[in-house]
Amino acid sequence: MVSYVVKQYRLLHSFKENHEGKFLSDEQMKLVRKIYKKPFMDNRVHEIRGKLKSKEERKYINQLKINSVYWPESELKGKNEYGKVGKWTARVEGVICFNSFYVTRIDHVDILSKLKPLYTLPRVFKVNPDFYDLSHVLIPMVLFIMMFMALIGYDGDGGYDIVAYLTLLFSALPFFIICRAIYKNHLLYEVSGIFDWDREGDEIDMGQTGRIGDVPLVFYRDYIEDERECIIHGKIKLEPHFHIEPNLINHKSPFFSLSEKKRSLGRCLVGWLIITAIFANMTVNFYQSGFYHEFLHFTQMHIKPKVIQDTDDAQLSLLKSGDAIKLDHFHLSPGQERGYIDAYDQLDEPFLEQLTQSIASKVGALVVDMDHRSDFSALTRAGEQFVNQQGEIYDQLIAAKQKVKSQVPLKIEIGERKFSTKTFSLKDLQTQIFDATAYKSGQTLSAKAIHQQVRQALIGYLYGFVTPMHASVSFFRPIEKELVVYIYQPIPVTKDVVAEVETMNYTMNFYRFWLTFSLVMLIYTLVAYLTARRRYDHLTW
């Protein structure tokens, strides 16, 4: 087999090297593509001379395989028992595509000229009752996939995703091919004019020959009246000779039966109903399986918990026992009672700004009066003296803390579980405000920088810091604004975890896809059955 392919390649390569300069036009190239249904790109014409040999329906000249839609019948009848054709030495011209030779002329017969009247006819989309509906031809493909799913199944060990990939891959290609074939079979060539039966035409299996103008047709004499105006829609046939085989005559099909069509659609409807029921049962079993519930629980706890960003009662009241949540963008600080965390979804900006301005003005005055380059310890002592001796500011800070704690928008009860929250004490506050490291650069601290530093310190002292919290909800007390939870630490999302989650997601989408697909086909078939008379009645003879 390999040697045969290599030999053909070498022969064709030698033809390309010895090209004599003849080319097909763009119009002829389009015609060649229609005739042989290949993506021809090389328009160079090559000539071959030699004795024609036949072997297993293949034709050869000088050991080169020749592909052609036409062979002179009178010459081929002279084949002897060894497959040689009489004394006929053929002269063929053609083009090369995919290492194969395709004929455009045999001796004095120009194939392109003979087929041009057929392939230049207008091609229109018509309801072609001679071809099966999409709902018929897809049933075997879906049954094969269903059998695949039922035999292998999902074992929860990560192997089913491979099956999902393979079945979707191998089913997508046939589906595309089937849809494309159905569409093309509804594209029929149209020819209209006065029909004339050939008086001395050959009678073949499909009927007798006739023509409309230059277009030959083959059909049964009973269905087309001689010398009458008619419009024919059909397909091009290349055997036993070039002609149009009518599918529709004056927009009607001689062999179409509406009752048979409805019976066929009825059988198809039952088939899709059974397929949809089986897919529905398989999908329900999957969603009720233990490994799916484990996956769902794991995903809700560690991958996609419900994100809570504010203290809206309506949102919190919708939480159910066991729901996994993540508190995001909350300032968290220890509550006044043991086992509680205070959560703030927003800051009291006017109050915070007023307090910041009051303290920052005094801090700025103190910093300006000090020679911070000479004695850092003096600066620290001054800070302590400032906070401790300024009773007004001290009382103001204590009152501010009590005010904020009395207006907690949400209390979270965590029981005996530990949850670390970072807050500032009064000592931490004065250290943050009078941080000696801010002056080590030797640059003067601006009023804006002092204001920002004081503000950040006050936020940490009054509200705490933004800290994400993962918890499982027990219940919510709307009157007390208390959320009772169980604190847990989420599992780190590693590559292995992501791979397992993706596997389950592919599996879910796999079941959903085929259930949805079968439902769509069921509805499509039902509509086709109910509207069969309106869609096909005009085709009856």
Q: How far apart are CA 180 and CA 168, in angstroms?
A: 18
Q: What is the dihedral of CA 326, 343, 322, 339, to 10 degrees?
A: 130
**Cis preceding-peptide flag for 334 (omega within 30 of 0):** no
| Residue 32: per-residue pLDDT | 93
Q: Are 407 and 342 in contact (CB under 8 A)?
A: no
Could you please report the per-residue DSSP string of 98-137?
TTEEEEEEETTEEHHHHHHHHHTS-EEE---TTS--HHHH
* Percent residues over pLDDT 90 in the chain: 9
For the cut 60, the answer to whether the pLDDT of residue 383 exceeds it is no
pLDDT, tens digit (0-9, with 9 covering 90-100), for 18-76: 666 788 999 999 999 999 988 998 888 888 888 888 777 788 888 888 898 888 765 55
| Residue scoring higher pLDDT (250 or 14) | 250
Q: How far apart are CA 67 and CA 58, in angstroms?
A: 8
For the cut 60, the answer to whether the pLDDT of residue 222 exceeds it is yes
Structure tokens at 423: 């807050």
Instruction: Name the band, by pLDDT with cuts 50, 70 and 90, for residue 499.
Output: confident
How close are the terminal C-alpha atoms of the chain, in Å? 52
| Residue scoring higher pLDDT (273 or 49) | 273
| Residue 203: per-residue pLDDT | 54
3-state secondary structure of 244: strand
For the cut 80, the answer to whether the pLDDT of residue 240 exceeds it is no
| Residue 85: per-residue pLDDT | 47
Instruction: Name the band, by pLDDT with cuts 50, 70 and 90, for residue 487.
Output: confident
| Residue 249: per-residue pLDDT | 87
| Residue 27: per-residue pLDDT | 92
Q: What is the residue extent of each domain of the chain?
A: 1-120, 126-199+206-272
The alpha-helical segments, DSSP class H, found in 305-433 are 313-317, 349-369, 376-389, 391-406, 426-433
For the cut 90, the answer to whether the pLDDT of residue 532 exceeds it is no
Mean pLDDT in residue range 248-258: 85
* Pick from 47-56, 190-199, 418-427, 492-501: least confident: 418-427
| Residue 129: per-residue pLDDT | 73
pLDDT, tens digit (0-9, with 9 covering 90-100), for 103-149: 999 988 899 998 998 988 998 888 877 666 777 878 887 887 777 77
Q: How far apart are CA 219 and CA 205, in angstroms?
A: 9
C-alpha distances out from residue 439 to 213, 381, 424, Å: 102, 15, 21
Residue in the structure block whose two tokens are 């005996």: 416
pLDDT, tens digit (0-9, with 9 covering 90-100), for 324-360: 888 888 888 888 778 888 888 888 888 888 888 877 7
Q: Are 316 and 478 in contact (CB under 8 A)?
A: yes
Q: Are 28 and 102 in contact (CB under 8 A)?
A: no
| Residue 519: per-residue pLDDT | 94
Structure tokens at 368: 């300006």
Structure tokens at 457: 């310190």
Mean pLDDT in residue range 233-256: 85
Residues in the chain: 541
Closest CA to 321 of 468, 469, 470, 476: 476
Structure tokens at 447: 């009023």
| Residue scoring higher pLDDT (388 or 322) | 322
Q: How far apart are CA 168 and CA 142, in angstroms?
A: 11
Mean pLDDT of the chain: 78
| Residue 465: per-residue pLDDT | 82
Closest CA to 500 of 152, 160, 153: 160
Long-range contacts of 516-521 (CB under 8 A, 24+ apart): 517/142, 518/142, 518/272, 518/275, 518/276, 518/279, 519/276, 521/134, 521/135, 521/138, 521/142, 521/272, 521/275, 521/276
For the cut 70, the answer to whether the pLDDT of residue 502 exceeds it is yes
Q: How far apart are CA 36 and CA 67, in angstroms?
A: 9
SS (H, E, C) 55-89: ECCEEEECCEEEECCCCCHHHHCCECCCCEEEEEE
| Residue 81: per-residue pLDDT | 43
* Pick from 311-325, 330-344, 378-392: least confident: 378-392
Q: What angle do CA 317, 318, 322 make, to 5 degrees?
A: 105
Q: How far apart are CA 157 and CA 296, in angstroms?
A: 16
| Residue 366: per-residue pLDDT | 58
Give the distance, in angstroms, between the CA of residue 475 and the centroid of all CA atoms in the same chain. Answer: 40
Q: Which residues contact 129 (CB under 8 A, 6 or more apart)?
A: 253, 256, 261, 536, 539
Residue in the structure block whose two tokens are 């009856």: 540
H or E segment at 193?
Answer: strand 187-197
The tally of CA atoms less than 13 A away on the side-chain side of residue 401 is: 20
| Residue 373: per-residue pLDDT | 43
* Pick from 4-8, 115-119, 293-297: least confident: 4-8
Instruction: Name the band, by pLDDT with cuts 50, 70 and 90, for residue 198.
Output: confident
Amino acid in the structure at residue 296: L
Confidence (pTM): 0.63
Q: How far apart are CA 426 and CA 413, in angstroms?
A: 26
